[in-house]
Amino acid sequence: MIGKFTASGILAVQSSTVIRQADFVNRVPSLLPVNPDKSAHRSLVKITLILLLYGLLALIATFPLVHEFSTTVLGGGDTAQNLWNLWWGDLAIRRGEWLPYETTMIYHPDGVNLAFHTLSPINLWMGTVLHSGLGLSLTKSYNTLTLLTFVISAIGMHWLVYHLTGSHGAAMVAAMIFVFSPIRMSRLWFGNLNLYSTQAIPFALLFAVRSFQTGRSRDALLCGVMVAITAGLDLFLASGTILLIGLLWLMRWFSFVFQTRQLWSPLLRTATIAAISAAILGMPFALPLLLNADDFPGQGNQLAASRANNADLVGFFVPDNLTSPLVKRVTPALAMQIEQIYAQFYGNSAEKSVFLGYTVIGLLLITLTMRPSAQMRSWLISAGLFFVLALGPTLYVNGQAILSHLPYEWLSYLPLLGVNRSPSRFSLFGMLALAVTVGYGVAALERRRSWRGWGSLALALLVFVEFCTVPIRVDPRLGKIPAFYAQLGADPKERQGVILDVPVDMIGAQGPAAEYMLFQTVHERPIVSGYIARIPERVSAQMQDPFFHTLRARIYGDTDPFVLDDAFLVQAPSELQRLNIEYVILHRWVLTPVDIDTLFAAFTTLLDVPLYEDEQIVVWRTHSTAE
């Protein structure tokens, strides 16, 4: 049999491949008009309508942002941290620091390295353009970036699925599934700007698919560029994108493995181009993580933490709990049942938002009844693998551990991937691959039913309504910033003195450090406290210093009242001078009445009468700087 595989046989295989590719081109319309004279205007109208539609849906999904665009930001939790990121990035970039991974504005006096922090440099660059370039406020810049993530992510998904299926209706359904899925909306809910900055991912996949089909170096290069952009937005998103492209590439390669070298050598060439370009362009974003790993020895492998941050298998099939989707609001009885189910889950409740959606599940079942193409199967397999990764190292079903040593455990030992401690977030890529799979099914339905896109539009809106979380959570802290900070930051010449916020918080997850950083975006002075995604060990050690330990924020079950004895009062003046503290600010809102009285008496003894006082804060200015 091998001997009969002659040159004529090779030509026959190549000819059949050309026929298949030609058939694919005939079935999938070009992204550009065939006849520019007749189709350019029609294409422009379609593009405009698609843009307007996704823009409108983004405004609806983020309601009431449209009414509060300049006064609040979407989400909660880490929004203060991400607002600080934009502020710090703007400050550093205007000083010429394009990759501002070092700062002394928090954790004064030593500062901190931000390599393991959710810095998102490309968001910082875009924020600087909006804030310093166009004059938008920090709040408006943040909200603009948020809306852009919706619109651009939706356009990217639309373009990807339209390229694969030739159906605008299928592309719209897929865009709704990915962009408004609970896993993505939960990141918006918790203020993780870096994690819902998904806009480059569909474009990376689009160019990867095109490079598979055409063998063009240009498409491979653009794929690498989009992966690098994703790395500049978030390294976890980049790692997931690389894994998904790698899976698709492997399945494409295996489909050629029994054919001739001429068929799969272009695939190797384009993959090499994409990998090299992504590595070179993405290196500035990944290299700081590697160079500063010694400062974060506890972050090398997060396998133990990942068990609490995985997805529960039941969560894929029960409406999300924390983001409060529409179904919970119109059916209180169902809402109570949902809450009871999620209460049984093991681990961090903030990482359990992995619901697939009943509309999506129904469309998937319909899709599976059709004859699947090889392309569709590859996306379906990819979706399944990512959902398995989202389960983490141990399978939990309704809070009960069922099976250990799942594939995520092996994956966690790979370079860079080991620092991820939230495997449930891989379901974002599962939803993307599932959206493409369903897109194939919707396109097939359109060809069978001849419903001219109206049925697909109805399905897209049904997905949107099922996932809808309006009115969405907004962060109220922007409206509660004490007026004193605006007065303090009014004179740019006097922004050198350091602020000691009391109680001192250098951890932040449960304490007030995020609020301190939010206040810093107004007063713009260095602060002693801080809150970053990964804290170096020296910061934890610094908190054991007697001065800081005495004034520490009471978090993680620490409820002991403050005791400021004579030894502390003797030590405090020299510590304030050593740290170059200009203002001591006591935050009433985070303290018990007893602790307020204790701290007020101590600092009044040390520093005389307060300079400023309101319901939230009490401010003292140190003697050495006041003169």
Flag the least confident range among 117-126, 129-138, 274-283, 411-420.
Answer: 411-420
Mean pLDDT, residues 194-209 taken together:
97
Higher-confidence residue: 448 or 223?
223
What is the per-residue pLDDT for 546?
87
- Block residue for tokens 């399978």: 395
Burial (0-12, 13-18, 19+ Cβ within 10 Å), 398: middle
Give the model's pLDDT for residue 35. Answer: 43
Which is more confident, 337 or 454? Answer: 337
The pLDDT value recorded for residue 494 is 59
pLDDT band at 322 (very low <50, low <70, confident <90, very high): confident
CA-to-CA separations, 66 to 6, 33, 125, 143, 474, in angstroms, rounded? 67, 35, 24, 10, 12
Q: What is the mean pLDDT of residues 26-30?
A: 38
Q: What is the pLDDT of residue 159?
A: 96
The domain locations on the chain are 481-626
Say whether pLDDT at 63 is over 80. yes
Q: Which residue has the higher pLDDT, 504 or 76?
A: 504
More confident residue, 21 or 441: 441
- Comparing CA positions, the residue from 433, 230, 236, 395 lying closest to residue 315 is 395
Average pLDDT (160-180) is: 96
> What per-residue confidence (pLDDT) applies to 515?
95
E-strand ranges in 17-139 read 102-103, 112-113
473, 310, 313, 326: which is closest to 393 by C-alpha? 310
- DSSP output for 338-392: HHHHHHT--S-GGG------HHHHHHHHHHHTS---HHHHHHHHHHHHHHHHHTT
Q: Is the pLDDT at 50 greater than 50, yes or no?
A: yes
Bridge pairing between strands 394-397 and 581-587: unpaired
Q: Report the mean per-residue pLDDT for the chain.
A: 87
Q: At residue 28, does pLDDT exceed 50?
A: no
Q: Work out the pLDDT band at 517, boundaries 50, 70, 90.
A: very high
pLDDT given at position 333: 87
Helix-then-strand count for the chain, H and E: 26, 8
Name the more confident of 486 and 46. Answer: 486
What is the spatial distance between Cα 550 and Cα 548, in angstroms, rounded to a whole number?
5
pLDDT band at 279; cut points 50, 70, 90? very high
Inform me whether the pLDDT recorded for 169 exceeds 50: yes
Q: How confident is the model at residue 32 (pLDDT cuts 50, 70, 90)?
A: very low
